[in-house]
Amino acid sequence: MKKIFFGLAMKAKILLPILLLLGFVSTQAYSQAKVGFKVSGGHYSFFSGKVDAIGQGAARLGVVGIIPFGQESESQFFLQGEANLSNVGAKLSYHMYGQDNISGITPLDVADYHLTMLNIPVSLGLKLNLNDEQALSFRAGLFLEVGLTGRVFLQKGSNATPIIYNAYTKGKTTQGQTDPYIFPFERITMGALCAVDYSINKNWIVGLELQQNITPGLMDNKIGGLNPVLRPYTFTVGATYLF
């Protein structure tokens, strides 16, 4: 119970600056605000020295809103918020522990995760106007990610039929069977982001973005005395169309 309250307090501590920032923005002139659609794709993997994690792809589709501060000049600050439907995948290999066999796990055991999440980033940026049409922008901020659905396909051995598990329920299938070697993803995670965007014209923006989880993407799960905690990161290339 104490661990749950501590986790909620940490998440509230991260969310509070976002809420205060949104409250500040509510006093700005919304006549300058722009909205549009954004599509992006790239690489999804993990920062960890303990596991053998194979990155896979990430695809996102969502809406974006941009609120500038003050009058437009050579440079201008802005707030950007998004809501993206995100599909990602990753593979974890159980020979990551450096042992040939831990409690019956062979080096050929592989878990393939397929996840669908709601990704909500909020970032503060600086726009440098190059001319009347083009601009270069730099952004940094925080994001919240909520798991919607997720499945993990566990391949036990080289010729075995994959077993399907819920990716958020500690290795429990719909039939109630449990596998202690499935690492479940946290349903709600948070992280930091940084991005570089280039405005081709008044409507189209292309850019690069890196998101790094602050909270673990997978829950602690002891195997052979080890406690792997994986923090996913996503590197994407995106295009935005503003109305």
Burial (CB < 10 A; 0-12, 13-18, 19+), residue 93, is middle
Q: What is the pTM of this model?
A: 0.79
Residues of the chain falling short of pLDDT 70: 1-31, 47-54, 93-109, 156-161, 170-181, 219-228
pLDDT score, position 103: 46
Q: Single out the residue of 148, 145, 146, 152 nearest to residue 174, CA to CA.
A: 152
Angstrom distance (rounded) from CA 80 to CA 32 = 13
Residue count (the chain): 243
pLDDT digits (tens, 9 = 90+) for 39-90: 999 999 886 655 566 678 999 999 999 999 877 778 999 999 999 999 998 8
What is the dihedral sign for C-alpha 121, 125, 130, 136?
A: negative
pLDDT score, position 184: 81
Name every residue whose Cβ is closer than 8 Å to that of residue 42 and which is 6 or more positions away in sequence: 57, 58, 234, 235, 236, 237
37 and 238 Cβ atoms separated by less than 8 Å: no
pLDDT score, position 183: 73
* b/e map 201-221, b = 16+ CB within 10 Å: eeeebebebbbebebbbbeeb
pLDDT score, position 125: 96
Q: Single out the residue of 43, 46, 45, 47 nearest to residue 60, CA to CA.
A: 43
pLDDT score, position 170: 67
**Cα 34 to chain centroid, rounded:** 24
Angstrom distance (rounded) from CA 202 to CA 135 = 9
**DSSP bridge pairs for 87:** 59, 116
